[in-house]
Chain A
Amino acid sequence: MPRVLVLVEHEEGAAKKVTYEMLTKARDLGEPVAVFVGEGLETAREGLARHGATAVYAAGGDNRLSGPLTGALAAAADRAEPAAVLVAATPLGKDAGARLAARRGWGMLADIVDLDGDLVATQNVFGGATTVRARVRTGTPVLAVKPNSFPVQEAPAEPEVVDLDLAEGQDATRVTDHVVQEQGGRPDVAEAEIVVSGGRGLQDPSNFALVEALADTLGAAVGASRAAVDAGWYPHQHQVGQTGKTVSPQLYVAVGISGAIQHRAGMQTSKTIVAVNKDADAPIFAISDFGVVGDLFKVVPRLTDEVAKRKA
């Protein structure tokens, strides 16, 4: 069986869901080998084993830097001679993948949402308006997998842990401070299974509390339209759309968002879309599976209550 490398995305050993999505997909292609960089291997190991990693290649170094990630992937690839390398389509995953492909003269496809047995990958391009199937022609394919593209299935394995024994700090890049501005707890908008986004219809930054309350009862991430971000109502990291993040969650809830083409470009591949807007002609309704025409200040708090009630 060919081996498939999977770069583990984690924070101090807590693996992100996309890692398990990649391990699950990798099993269709061969034997998944997890590549782990940084602290927390003991914590991560159990989850990697449960999702079918047949080996874990580990290296020291800072997993918030693409240098050590690239070094580990290159060393792991030399050992495993994989059929493909999977990284998450996150900024760091793409950086590491791009540097690996450049270093080895391989090809890379970014933001893939599907992959067949012949390593032909599917990508949504032009804001989700076109579906492309593409493949790597040169060397070992490096594939950046969009979160939420593959289901997670467990398949317990007993991985051997192999120390890659790399010199740390591949280049002199260093992280000198890690600043947390928002209290965590909510998932990242680019990776969440459910995203609740607010727009100019909220009228005032303090009303984002309505969106946050709904997001929290659903276990969702919070997104925002550019109008809301540009007005300074919500931080830029949360912007969804052509000049923000492209998200493809299971459920996207648009609150007080008109659905301009540039906003749709960032969310129209979501599996299910619902919208609350007082304008029955708002373009967002044309792509919504369920639309409520109404005042968000009435509908959203009631929805939050209703969801909480049903969850209780």
Chain B
Amino acid sequence: MKILVTVKRVPDTAAEKRLDPADKTLDRESVETILNPVDEYAVEEALRLKEQHGGEVVVLCMGPSSALATVRKALSMGPDAAVHVHDDALHGSCAFNTAKVLQAAIRQVEPDIVLCGSESTDARTSLVPSALAEYLGWPGLTGAKQLEVDGATVRVHRETENGYDVVEADGPAVVSVVKGINEPRYPSFKGIMAAKSKPVTDYTLADLGVDPGEVGTAGATTEVVDFAPRPPRQAGQQVKDPGDGSAAVELAEFLAGHKFI
């Protein structure tokens, strides 16, 4: 089985993120970057599928040349090879442009299944996996907290608000996984060393036959009109409980005053 995992480079979770005033896109250069945390679960799930069914795991990342570090980080967990799509024209791509480009790369790799994270911590839109499924014309099984491949059938437990739905389709399919589906392995020292020499195929838009005018800032389907930092919240009233819980009465008073009770 050929398993492809999409991984994204995102700003470090603790880093202060800001928009570049010049072109109103996320300033990704001024901050530390990491592998999107949820994508580690997708990589782990891919490795487990390979352990069960045999085959190979290919990592796919669209991002600037500097995202190679993210690709290597993913490879250090154990995948066999990677595809890195980078092209200056991709700067400022929207979720749909991204999905279009990922789709074109996926068609080159011809996997039996595509695994994505459920959302990226910077954009947090969760649009890419479904858009990708649509462009590929494959079933999209999102929000998986369990995944099973059984012959041609791909089956997931899809998280709902009070439990889960068992959803299945015939592969090839796009599956997005949620945090907690597994316990991602830590890269071993050997894995980190091995990752340095694993094959990484570089694609430009021309290699993929994607028109640069369709992607990046030029082809983005959405645009930022303006942005502003949100005014910081002010600390309000604070009361100290004398030790018997009676401050609860004041809190209840506050809640009643704001019509919550």
Chain B binds chain A: yes
Name the residue in A137, A173, A280 with the highest tally of chain B Cβ atoms < 10 Å from its Cβ.
A173
Contacts known (A172-B169, A236-B180); A132 close to B230, Cβ less than 8 A: no
Q: Using a Cβ–Cβ cut-off of 8 Å, how many residues does chain A contribute to the interface with B? A: 95
From the candidates A111, A120, A130, name the one contacting B227 in the complex (CB within 8 A). A130
From the candidates B157, B162, B227, name the one contacting A184 in the complex (CB within 8 A). B162
Q: Which residues of B contact A77 (CB under 8 A)?
A: none
Q: Does B112 contact A (CB under 8 A)?
A: no
Residues 216 to 235 of chain B near chain A (Cβ within 8 Å): 220-230, 233, 235
Question: Are A171 and B139 in contact, CB atoms less than 8 angstroms apart?
Answer: yes
Question: Are B252 and A307 in contact, CB atoms less than 8 angstroms apart?
Answer: yes
Main secondary structure of the interface of B (DSSP, over half): mixed
Question: Are A91 and B142 in contact, CB atoms less than 8 angstroms apart?
Answer: yes
Q: What distance in Å separates the Cβ of A306 from its nearest Cβ neighbour in chain B?
A: 4
Question: Are A295 and B168 in contact, CB atoms less than 8 angstroms apart?
Answer: no
From the candidates B124, B221, B241, name the one contacting A137 in the complex (CB within 8 A). B221
Residues of B in contact with A, size category: 35 or more
Question: Are A130 and B238 in contact, CB atoms less than 8 angstroms apart?
Answer: no
Contacts known (A102-B134, A236-B145, A310-B261); A136 close to B221, Cβ less than 8 A: yes
Question: Are B223 and A134 in contact, CB atoms less than 8 angstroms apart?
Answer: yes
Question: Are A262 and B166 in contact, CB atoms less than 8 angstroms apart?
Answer: no
Question: Are B230 and A301 in contact, CB atoms less than 8 angstroms apart?
Answer: no
Question: Are A242 and B228 in contact, CB atoms less than 8 angstroms apart?
Answer: no
Question: Are B230 and A236 in contact, CB atoms less than 8 angstroms apart?
Answer: no
Q: Which residues of A contact B229 (CB under 8 A)?
A: 129-131
- Nearest-CB residue, chain B, relative to A287: B233
Q: Which residues of A contact B255 (CB under 8 A)?
A: 251, 274, 307
Q: Which residues of B contact A206 (CB under 8 A)?
A: none
Instruction: List 10 extra interface pairs beyond A179-B166, A291-B236, CB under 8 A.
Output: A98-B134, A99-B133, A101-B131, A110-B124, A173-B139, A175-B165, A188-B161, A243-B37, A298-B244, A302-B248
